[in-house]
Amino acid sequence: MQHENPVVVHPPHGTVVACEHGPGPFALELFAGRHRLHADEPREVGGTDSGPNPYELLAAALAACTVMTLRMYARHKGLSLGAIRCAVRHEKIHAEDCAQCETRVGKIDRFERVIEVEGALDEATRARLLEIADRCPVHRTLTSEILIETRLARG
């Protein structure tokens, strides 16, 4: 199933537009300013795996924000850090398996974030970097109350 993509003008900064486009029923082209990305679902759920799935994109946002936040902090503090890498894994877990979670029934989303920083770091710096990682804007968004307002476009 091929979806024709309408002409998309570059959306303004802060807006992302998703348009069906590609070889399968879930293949999307994403427009973020002048940037183009792809998204899809894996083959096992009916997609063509032509791009990351929505949860992988969400995990990518958290990973990217974490690395950028740590780099900004290191520059601000004059820390000589080597390369910074962040891997984020998303999964659904049973709420009863989460000791620190308020939700007790059903499933919850769990993100595992592993940060690597090249170079020798003392324990105090390592601990501070973990604190700063938790202050990245995407982390704060994911762990705070959010409001999503949805409406159908006219026409």
Tokens matching residue 53: 């799935």
How buried is 38 (Cβ within 10 angstroms: 0-12 exposed, 13-18 middle, 19+ buried)? middle
Identify the structural domains of the chain with CATH numbers, from first to last.
Answer: 1-51 (no CATH), 54-142 (3.30.300.20)
Mean pLDDT of the chain: 91
What is the reported pLDDT for 95? 80
Distance CA 84, CA 140 (A): 20
* 40, 60, 70, 106 from 76: Cα distances, Å: 38, 24, 10, 42
pLDDT, tens digit, 9 for 90 and up, residues 79-126: 989 999 999 999 988 888 877 777 777 888 999 999 999 988 999 999
* pLDDT at site 96: 82
pLDDT at res. 5: 52
Strand, helix or coil at 119? coil
pTM passes above 0.85: yes
Distance CA 16, CA 102 (A): 32
Q: What is the pLDDT of residues 35-80, one digit of tens each?
A: 999 999 999 999 999 999 999 999 999 999 999 999 999 999 999 8
Check residue 102 and give its pLDDT. Answer: 76
What's the residue count for the chain?
155
